[in-house]
Amino acid sequence: MEIRKYNSDDIKQFTDLMPDLGYPSSLDEMKVRMQRIESNPNYYTFVAINDNNLVGMIGITIHTTYTNNDEKIQITSLVTKKEYRGQGIAKALIKYVEEWSLKRGSDFIYLLSGKSEKRIKAHELYKFLGYEITGYRFVKCMKK
């Protein structure tokens, strides 16, 4: 398996992965979304490729906060194709981002995750990899 930076040639397989993330999207929607993401220098997308098939992805953002001058990396999306789950792909993607972050001089990675039953296996993986629960997420959706 190879892990590398996303490129626009991946768009079709990337779009096919979105239902497994829980967000089915059309090819046109994903083209717009990925153009926006790729044009933002604080966003990075890495993909896992197995036999020329895109089998997973991880999306991250780089943040600077008011508390200190250290760069913080947020994992914003992580998904493995359903038929490839349980093969260590998500773990490999997280480890790849951890190493990538350290090379940049960033030693702080965090992620936010929902509390639904569907997320239990993901939470177990995060804990296994050394991630700790440190707080809550508060959300307010304000309709336009």
| Buried/exposed code over 13-35 (b: 16+ C-beta within 10 A; e: otherwise) | bbbbbbebeeeebeeeebbebbe
Within a domain: residue 28? yes
User: In this predicted model, what pLDDT tens digit does every residue of 90-129 receive, in sequence order?
Assistant: 999 999 999 999 999 999 999 998 888 888 889 999 999 9
Within a domain: residue 46? yes
Name the domain count of the chain: 1
- CATH number of the domain at 97, please: 3.40.630.30
Within a domain: residue 102? yes
Tell me how crowded residue 137 is: count the other CB atoms within 10 A of its CB: 8
Within a domain: residue 58? yes
Within a domain: residue 47? yes
Q: Which two tokens stand for residue 110?
A: 């965090």
Within a domain: residue 134? no
Structural domain that includes position 39:
2-128
User: In this predicted model, what pLDDT tens digit does every residue of 121-131 receive, in sequence order?
Assistant: 899 999 999 99
Q: What is the pTM of this model?
A: 0.92
- 3-state SS of the chain: helix, strand, coil percent to 5? 40, 25, 35
* DSSP sequence for 116-139: SGGGHHHHHHHHHTT---------
Q: Which two tokens stand for residue 94?
A: 């997280």
Within a domain: residue 136? no
